[in-house]
């Protein structure tokens, strides 16, 4: 293994190489005066609000079942760690079945949205936030019964230590949710249209499964399902975001709007739930 990264021939090395192909060519980046990166907090907040109002989905049920099992074995509510928490869509709908939630995210704005929603719960568990990137801040986080991480791993190039830290912080189970293909894949036709640039088709959720098998995780379960799509952005906000992500100037927004008009927003989205056993020692029950 190279000192500065995973073996290129390994599953983790292939994952890193696939993600590296998503880098925007320097000559395109040089032509824009605003960053194409970043996620609007309000979009994540809207998703958290929708999931709080109507919890559901395979990933939610998998985490809920694990929390129920923790309670049946120990006689106490379980604790929950949310890595890449955003505004809390993965963890806050489970709050009533937990005694404590820790939310980790690199964005202060996202954590503020999480805190606002956690504080507003009718009977909130203990909760705290940790600002920083995982696994850099893993040593600031205690072991929890269940670890969740939704729609994060496509942003993680060095995936093996990220996964290892998730597993090490879970007593019972890790529950991860991703989409089948890179979440920016929907823009691929527009990259071709506006820049003549063919974008990658990998990595996929299947590549992530290969990483997990190579990492030796125990009791891996892969579940594929669909969820209702929740997107609070107006048409104009979507146009603005797509134009920025495509590294185009503001005056190209009408062209982007025309292109997006041929791409109806989906009512549902496919998701993949990956769950596996944690390696942290089990906590003793009461008494």
**Inside any domain, residue 105:** yes
pLDDT category, 98, cuts 50, 70, 90? Answer: very high
Q: What is the rounded radius of gyration, in angstroms, for the C-alpha atoms of the chain?
A: 20
In a domain, 191, yes or no: no
Write out the DSSP string of 28-58: HHTT-SS-S----HHHHHHHHHHHHHS--SH
Q: What is the pLDDT of residue 2?
A: 42
pLDDT of the residue at 233: 82
Q: Yes or no: say if 242 and 187 are a contact pair by the CB < 8 Å rule.
A: yes
Residue 241 within a domain: no
The two three-digit tokens of residue 27, written as one number: 């000559």
From CA 31, how far away is CA 112, in angstroms rounded?
A: 33
pLDDT tens figures, 17-58: 999 999 999 999 998 988 898 888 988 999 999 999 999 999
Name the domain count of the chain.
Answer: 1
Helical segments of the chain, H only: 11-20, 26-29, 41-53, 58-74, 108-119, 159-168, 188-195, 205-215, 235-245, 253-260
CATH number of domain containing 176: 3.40.50.150
Parent domain of 100: 37-180+205-231+269-277
| 244 located within any domain | no
Residue 9 maps to a domain: no
133 in a structural domain: yes
Question: What angle do the packed helices 205-215 and 11-20 form, to 10 degrees?
Answer: 150
More confident residue, 67 or 268: 67
Look at residue 137 and tell me if it is in a domain: yes
| Local structure of residue 142 (DSSP, 8 states) | -
* Any domain includes 188: no
Does the reported pTM lie above 0.75? yes
């Amino acid at each position: 293994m190279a000192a500065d990264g995973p073996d290129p021939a390994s599953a983790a090395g292939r994952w890193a190489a696939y993600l590296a192909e998503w880098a925007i060519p320097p000559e395109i980046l040089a032509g824009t005066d605003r960053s194409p990166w970043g996620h609007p907090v309000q979009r994540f907040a809207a998703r958290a609000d929708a999931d709080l109002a109507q919890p559901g989905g395979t990933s939610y049920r998998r985490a809920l079942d694990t929390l129920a099992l923790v309670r049946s074995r120990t006689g106490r509510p379980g604790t929950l760690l949310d890595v890449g928490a955003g505004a809390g869509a993965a963890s806050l709908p489970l709050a009533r079945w937990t005694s404590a939630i820790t939310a980790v995210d690199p964005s202060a704005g996202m954590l503020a949205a999480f805190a606002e929603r956690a504080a507003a719960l009718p009977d909130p568990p203990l909760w705290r936030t940790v600002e920083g990137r995982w696994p850099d801040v893993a040593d600031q986080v205690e072991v929890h019964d269940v670890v969740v991480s939704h729609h994060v791993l496509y942003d993680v190039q060095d995936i093996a230590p990220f996964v290892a830290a998730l597993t090490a912080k879970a007593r019972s189970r890790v529950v991860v949710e991703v989409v089948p293909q890179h979440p920016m894949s929907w823009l691929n036709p527009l990259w071709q249209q506006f820049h003549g640039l063919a974008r990658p088709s990998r990595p996929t959720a299947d590549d992530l499964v290969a990483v997990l098998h190579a990492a030796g995780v125990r009791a891996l379960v892969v579940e594929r399902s669909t969820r209702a799509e929740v997107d609070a952005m107006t048409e104009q906000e979507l146009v603005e975001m797509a134009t920025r992500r495509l590294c185009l100037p503001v005056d190209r927004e009408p062209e982007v709007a025309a292109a997006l008009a041929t791409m109806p927003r989906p009512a549902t989205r496919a998701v993949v739930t990956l769950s596996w056993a944690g390696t942290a020692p089990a906590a003793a029950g009461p008494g």
